[in-house]
Amino acid sequence: MINDLWYKNAVIYCLSVETFMDANGDGVGDFQGLQRRLDYLAGLGIDAIWLMPFQASPQRDDGYDVTDYYNIDPRYGTLGDFVEFTHGAKQRGIRVLIDLVVNHTSDHHPWFQQARSDPNSVYRDWYVWSGKKPANADEGMVFPGIQKTTWTYDEKARQYYFHRFYEFQPDLNTANPHVQAEILKIMGFWIQLGVSGFRMDAVPFVIAEKGADVKRLSKRYEMLRRFREFLQWRLGDSIILAEANVVPKENLKYFGEDGDRLQMMFNFHVNQALFYALASSDARPLIKAVEATRERPATAQWGIFLRNHDELDLGRLGEKQRRKVFEEFGPDKGMQLYDRGIRRRLAPMLDGDRRRLELAYSLMFSLPGTPVLRYGDEIGMGDDLSLPERNCARTPMQWSAEPHGGFTKSRRPVLPVISGGPFGFEHLNVAQQRRDPDSLLNWMERLIRMRKEVPEIGWGDCVPLNTGDDGVLALRYDWRNNSVLVVHNLHSRPVEVSFVAGVGEHGNLLIDIADGASSDADANGRHRLLLDAYGYQWFRVGGLDYLLRRREI
Ligand code: NOJ
């Protein structure tokens, strides 16, 4: 049962209420502040907002440790403010997705408190216990170097409890039908309050078998179908976007062979190859990753991203490739995290080089899938490596040159706003970039408009073309008799390449979507293209008559 496939071609913008805009001056972002910025987001042209966790929480993992799934953290406002916000977003045609963190709760959650205090409590079996310390307690940590174990002894329960993440995030026993029913209830609740779906946290762990005797991580994929079915019964066009960093051969298990499980997944495979391509000027592993993740049901879609709120996880690259990315983008120990990733924002990784930033975002917006942009990236925000772990890339939005970047009137923002240096709010902020027609912000707005005019990317078949240069990536998308070609030069020098665009049916003219310039193939059907250093171009492909009819030129 599918009503609308809006997510096949959308631009998603991820933000944290806490650090976006503070309206009441207490130093913490809130829903009223976010509400005031809705016109800014509508102007940018995004289709959906993904809100990071905002439910009641002791905030030991930035809200990924929930104490009440049916309420919001009072620092951000009230449920009333939330509904005002979803209504305001709806008025502007913007959908809202929210984080759904149900692999675990906070250890302060009343369910866990009752479970540990009373062996006869119905909540005891909502968590995963063991009388003895399991043999594998020192394995499977998600935050190596910081997290010591996956089983912690609880004095009150006199048992060990399982936690895939930090010890204050006890795993829910998702095999328990009551827990499953509660997950559906949580989804149903937020759907009623106006959201269009969920970014589901840690999906492979949600569906994994959990327990002291579990040797192999077997998964209950069937659960995913039940989540989807329930959602669609309640609201036909609502979706689940899965955080699932898995190998390509598992993808279909998450999407469902017939597209009957989750609608979207983040493409971690392409993400890592993309960073390798940017670091090495070698597009071959990226093409491989695009091909390895090509197969998906027609109604399923990838979320394509560059950086998110976590570290850039390079765990799936080969050793040599990983070393190359570290060398280029995170050479110092302080830039790295959990032995597998880089914790910086994109702009500082690329030395704030506008050409490289445009190249990276042009790629992100033109790889097969739906682009997911992180707040602040549209103005090229930096990071603060003096902050612990992933907080360095979670600093408040830089709105203006006013104190604290116009984020808050309080003297103590929840996290310090980046000040001084090339990424300081004093000169890197929204107000300044709005006034400058050449700013990254205005460029991003144009890129978003262009992406929305090219639905072929979300819907079409993607064919890599041979350019004869491993550092030049050319992808053609074919959909409903239309073809679009995107070309990216990963080299730091200009290059000339030649290729066969290879559509033929309507002719072989290339029309640059940005400036309308056209070029035809030579007598052998080959195009020659001169690309600037880190240059990129998006084309429509076809014959003159055909493109005129479509009003493309
Ligand atoms: C993945 C989230 O992206 C991350 O920020 C969080 O720490 C873990 N899941 C645990 O919820």
Nearest ligand 1 atom to the CA of 390 is 5
Q: What is the pTM of this model?
A: 0.97
Q: What is the pLDDT of residue 1?
A: 43
Distance from residue 31's CA to the centre of ligand 1 (Å): 22
Q: How far is the CA of 76 from the centre of ligand 1 (A)?
A: 20
CA of 286 relative to ligand 1 center, distance in Å: 26
Cβ of 201 closer than 6 Å to ligand 1, yes or no, is yes
The ligand 1 atom nearest the CA atom of 165: 10
Ranges 31-45, 85-99, 186-200, 531-545: which has the least confidence: 531-545
- Amino acid, single-letter form, for residue 101: V
pLDDT at residue 403 in the model: 98
**CATH number of the domain bearing residue 274:** 3.20.20.80
> Are the beta carbons of 211 and 162 closer than 8 angstroms?
yes
Tell whether 92 and 146 lie within a shared domain: no
Q: What is the 3-state secondary structure (H, E, C) of 225-291?
A: HHHHHHHHHHCCCCEEEECCCCCHHHHHHHHCCCCCCCCEEECHHHHHHHHHHHHHCCCHHHHHHHH
Question: Is residue 307, in this structure, part of any structural domain at all?
Answer: yes
Q: Among 452, 478, 497, which residue terminates a domain?
A: 452
424 vs 506, which has greater pLDDT? 424
Q: Is 201 among the residues known to form the active site? A: yes
CA of 287 to the centre of ligand 1 (A): 28
What pLDDT is attached to residue 546?
A: 64
Residue 42 lies in a domain: yes
Query: Does 152 share its domain with 90?
Result: no
Residues 309 and 436 in one domain: yes
420 and 518 in a single domain? The answer is: no
Q: Is 64 touching ligand 1 by the criterion CB < 6 Å?
A: yes
Average pLDDT, the chain: 95
Domain assignment of residue 213, yes or no: no
Share of the chain above pLDDT 70, in %: 97
Contact 396, 415 (CB under 8 A): yes
Residue type, 66: V
Q: Which of 55, 61, 107, 206 to mutate to test the pocket of ligand 1 (most atoms within 8 A of CB)?
A: 61
Please state, in angstroms and rounded to a whole number, the distance separating the CA atoms of residues 103 and 478. 39
Are 417 and 533 members of one domain? no
| Neighbour tally for 55: CB within 10 Å | 22
In a domain? residue 116: yes
Instruction: Say what the pLDDT of residue 4 is.
Output: 87
Residue to substitute in 165, 245, 266, 394 for testing ligand 1 pocket (most ligand atoms within 8 angstroms of CB)? 165
- Rounded average pLDDT over 109-114: 98
User: In this structure, is residue 212 part of a structural domain?
Assistant: no
Q: In this structure, are 272 and 421 located in the same domain? A: yes
Q: Calculate the CA 460 to chain-centre distance.
A: 21
Residues 120, 83 share a domain:
no
- Which domain covers residue 425, as residue numbers? 8-103+194-205+239-452
User: Where residue 130 sits, what CATH number does that domain have?
Assistant: 3.90.400.10
Give the pLDDT of residue 539.
Answer: 96
- Ligand 1 neighbour 99 (Cβ under 6 A): no
Q: Please identify which of the residues 243, 311, 377, 469 carries the catalytic annotation.
A: 243
| pLDDT for 212 beyond 70 | yes
User: What are 178's two structure tokens?
Assistant: 């009551």
Please tell me the total count of domains within the chain. Answer: 3
**Distance of alpha carbon 332 from the chain centroid:** 25
Q: Decide the pairing of beta strands 159-162 and 129-130.
A: antiparallel
The one-letter code for the residue type at 4 is: D
State the alpha helices, DSSP H only, in 453-513. Answer: 456-459
- Is 73 labeled as catalytic in the residue annotation? no
Question: Is residue 180, in this structure, part of any structural domain at all?
Answer: no
